[in-house]
Amino acid sequence: MLTFSIFITYIFCTQINIENMLGKNKTEIQQIMSNQFIEYSTNNFGIKSNDNTLRYYNSKKDVTLMFYFNNQQKCKYIKQIEDIDNLEQRTKELNNKYIKVSNYKWKTTLNQKTINISIEKEEYNFSVIFQ
């Protein structure tokens, strides 16, 4: 049970860091990822050279983080892709942390800006989107 609590706390803290990356530039995100998210490795598989994204993969948890940038190279949204088996637990965590707007949609405020959080479900995985 202690291990489960530590795991949930870790995920909760990871999400705090992830949403704080909105608005940061590529270099800042690369530094944060290499210093604070050492369990993630860069993953450029399937990304075209003209895509304005950074992609990281955690092989132990089978989680992918994708950062999308605008023309000014600032992070405009983040997509965290997970296995569909984690959907129920992730939804509970988001319900506890953020203001629920509707089914699979939440919001919060960070630095006086509203951040929208949503889940997009697919057949085998789902994405948590921060924007």
- Contact between 127 and 81 under an 8 Å Cβ cutoff? The reply is yes
Task: Measure the CA–CA gap between 61 and 122, rounded to whole angstroms.
Answer: 18
pLDDT of res. 48 = 54
Count up the domains in the chain and report the number.
Answer: 1
- Contact between 101 and 114 under an 8 Å Cβ cutoff? The reply is no
- pTM of the entire predicted model: 0.80
Task: Calculate the average pLDDT of the chain.
Answer: 86
pLDDT in tens, 29-40: 999 999 999 999
pLDDT of res. 45 = 62
Task: Measure the CA–CA gap between 112 and 131, rounded to whole angstroms.
Answer: 14
The residue segments making up the domain with residue 7 are 2-130
pLDDT of res. 39 = 93
Give the range with max mean pLDDT: 3-17, 32-46, 114-128. 114-128
Task: Measure the CA–CA gap between 7 and 47, rounded to whole angstroms.
Answer: 30
